[in-house]
Structure 1
Amino acid sequence: MEENPKGGLGYRTACRTSRRGPVLAGAAIRRLSKDCVAVACEPGSADGRDLTEDQHREAAAKLAGTWSRIGFKPFADGVHILDCHLQRPHDLLVERQREFKELCRAWRGHHRGRPDSSA
C-alpha cells in the first residue's frame, strides 16, 4: 500500500480497498435484480485459479465485508443473502455512493494544480 506523505493511506489505496467495490457491486446488483426476491453470493475464484485454504479464507472475509456494506447478511456455509425488497440495501448503496463521491472530490482537490496529476 502506498503511504500518503501527510499520513494515512494514499488516495489510490483508499479507493481500491474500501470504496469502489461496494459501489460497483451494489449498483450492478440493484440493476440486475429488479424482479428478484433475493440475491445469494458465495465466495469463489473469479478467474478460475486455485486458491489455498488461507487465500480462500482471506478472500471470503474481504468479500463478506464488502457484501455487508451493501446489505448482504450471512446465511450458511459462506453464502450471503440480500433481500431485494428491503429499503436498507438501497439506503446503504446511496451511502456508499456518497462516500465514493466524497473520496473523488478529495482526490481531485488533492491533485488540482499539481504538475503531474496522473499519479
Structure 2
Amino acid sequence: MEEESEEPYETAQAILDPDTGTFTDEVSERLEYVGSALLVMDRVTLDPPWRGHGLAAVLACEAIPRLMAGCRAVACSPGITDKAEWDRVNARIAQGWERLGFRPYRDNIYLLSPASQDLEEQRGALRGHLADLGASWRTDAS
C-alpha cells in the first residue's frame, strides 16, 4: 500500500481558516463565489513510459470538471516525489498546471477557480494533443 500523502492536509492548512474551516479571507478575495467545497488534486501518477508527454495535464483537465461540482476552489501542489531532478521537473509540472488555469497562491500551492474559463479553453487543445499522441503511438506500434 502506498504511503499516504500529507500534501492535501498541508494544502488545506494554507487555504482554510483553522478556526472556521472556511476559506481564508486572502483566498476568498481571489475566488468567485460558486460553491463552498475544496477539491485538492493530490497527485496524478503515470507509469514511467507515459511521462513527459503532457498526459498528466490532459487527464487532469478531463477529471477536474467531473469532480469540481460545488467547489469554490481546486488546489494542487505541483511537484515530484523523486528528489533527483526536483527543480527542473517541478518547473515543468507547474507550467502544465498553469496551462490549465491554476495560479500560484503560496508555498507551492496553486489554486483554480471553477468559475474560470481557462480550464474549458484548454480542454480542446489538450484533447487534440492526446489524439496526436495516440496517432503517434499507433504509427510507432505498426
Same fold (TM over 0.5): yes
The answer to whether 1:34 aligns with 2:34 is: no
* 2-structure distance, mates of 1:107, 1:33: 31
Which stretches in structure 2 are left out of the alignment for 5+ residues?
1-47
Q: Which consecutive unaligned segments of at least 5 residues does structure 1 have? A: 1-11, 113-119
Scaled by the length of structure 2, the TM-score of the pair is 0.55
Instruction: Give TM-score, length-normalised by structure 1.
Output: 0.63
Q: Which residue of the partner structure matches residue 107 of structure 1? A: 137
Query: Contact conserved, 1:43 with 1:79, CA < 8 A, in 2?
Result: yes
**For 1:38 and 1:97, how far apart are their aligned partners in 2?**
23
The one-character-per-residue Cα deviations of 1:56-106 (angstroms, maximum 9, x if unpaired) are: 444532321221121211122211111111222111122111111112112
Q: What's 2:118 paired with? A: 88
Matched residue pairs, number? Answer: 95
Matched, 1:79 2:79: no
User: Which runs of structure 2 are paired with 1:11-30 in the superposition (5 Å)?
Assistant: 16-30=51-65
Distance 1:66 1:86, change over 3 A: same
Identity value in percent: 29
CA RMSD, Structure 1 to Structure 2 (Å): 2.6
